[in-house]
Amino acid sequence: MKTQCPMNELIFDEHSLTRLDTAADGRFKAGMNGIKNIYATNDKKVQFIQYDDANIIAYVQSQMGYPAMYPLLPVKIEKPIKAILMDLDGTSVKSEEFWIWIIERTIAKLLSNPHFQLEQSDLPHVSGHSVSEHLKYCTQKYCPEKNVEQAREYYFDITRHEMRAILDGTGKTNAFKPVDGLKDFLYTLKNHKIKIGLVTSGLYEKAWPEIVAAFKELKMDDPNEFYDAIITAGFAIRKGQVGTLGELEPKPHPWLYAETARVGLGIDFSQRSHIIGIEDSGAGVVSIRLAGFAALGISDGNIEQSGTLGLCSGFCTNLEEVLDIVL
């Protein structure tokens, strides 16, 4: 288990953020207008404009054309911990391979090439963000003559079919496996009266079968009864149906984690140092930090590769190590 600096000191080493001279398409320059440094995650999606140690702005870029800016606030961990906010994919349930497979099938259908496969270099761009951003990246690279709306239509057709099959017991086997130690971890938190919020950038129709499958394997009861709050990215917008906000503001934006804590669990922002978020992805770590909470990283994801290790207050190899920090 590695422990990082929990304050606004962005750690710059071989596992950390990349230093830039300019950011946000040239709008910000290091050394000008009071800007000391500019850092970025390794995919450049999130850029940090540092004025001084207490004033850092995160500029979140968007594949869909709607960037946003947020303050990066100092964080600390104060006990007793009142709530744990947990990511779903990778942190609670092993499912990334399945969703990458769905993206591959989507692009294969767009290309009319059933043998299509993503490259290793694509993987950081097809996990941790929204469906639309994943598909935007893939269409731009592999079929620029296609549009993301057509890709989304194929994606959700494939997803609905596979989700129904999994819930019926006839779908892809071992698509969703609970991470090691999840059951003991959850019950330990319950025994210590710590609230648990489940947070995912996945749309409801993707996320709910994952949660149900994991709880069935663990022989646990209804997830709705167990978790104190479950926040997903909502429902997809489709012709003739009402959708919900879910594609332009997921991780690394702060809103899913912020809503889970403040609305789902009813914990005031003034108590944020008693809340910890747990993530395995760089996008998720940024989301937790921009929501104002301390982040604990899980080593199975892409945190080190993304450069966001320095934003974590702790870096653990398993959920048992997380308990050592929480309790």
Q: What is the pLDDT of residues 202-258, one digit of tens each?
A: 888 888 888 988 998 899 999 999 999 999 988 877 778 787 777 788 899 999 999
How many angstroms separate the first and last alpha carbons of the chain? 15
DSSP H or E run through 259: helix 255-259
Q: What is the pLDDT of residues 262-309, one digit of tens each?
A: 999 999 999 999 999 999 999 999 999 999 999 999 998 889 888 999
Peptide bond into 114 cis (omega under 30): no
DSSP output for 74-143 = -----SSP-EEEEESBTTTEE-HHHHHHHHHHHHHHHHT-TT----GGGGGGSSSS-HHHHHHHHHHHH-
Asked whether the predicted pLDDT for residue 14 surpasses 70, the reply is no
Identity at 229, one-letter amino acid code: A
Cα 57 from Cα 23, distance rounded (Å): 11
Asked whether the predicted pLDDT for residue 120 surpasses 60, the reply is yes
Cα 35 from Cα 45, distance rounded (Å): 19
> Binning pLDDT at 50, 70 and 90, where does residue 65 land?
confident
Non-local CB neighbours of 67 within 8 Å, separated by 6+ positions? 24, 59, 60, 61
Give the residue among 173, 178, 166 at the shortest CA–CA distance from 214: 178
264 — phi, psi (to 5°)?
A: -70, -45
Mean pLDDT of 83-105: 93
Tell me what pLDDT residue 91 has: 94
Torsion of CA 149, 154, 157, 160, to 10 degrees: -90
Domain limits, the chain: 18-71, 83-94+178-326, 96-168
Asked whether the predicted pLDDT for residue 36 surpasses 50, the reply is yes
Q: What is the pLDDT of residues 44-53, one digit of tens each?
A: 889 999 998 7
Tell me what pLDDT residue 116 has: 96
Domain 83-94+178-326 homologous superfamily, CATH: HAD superfamily/HAD-like (3.40.50.1000)
**Considering the chain, what is the average pLDDT of its residues?**
90
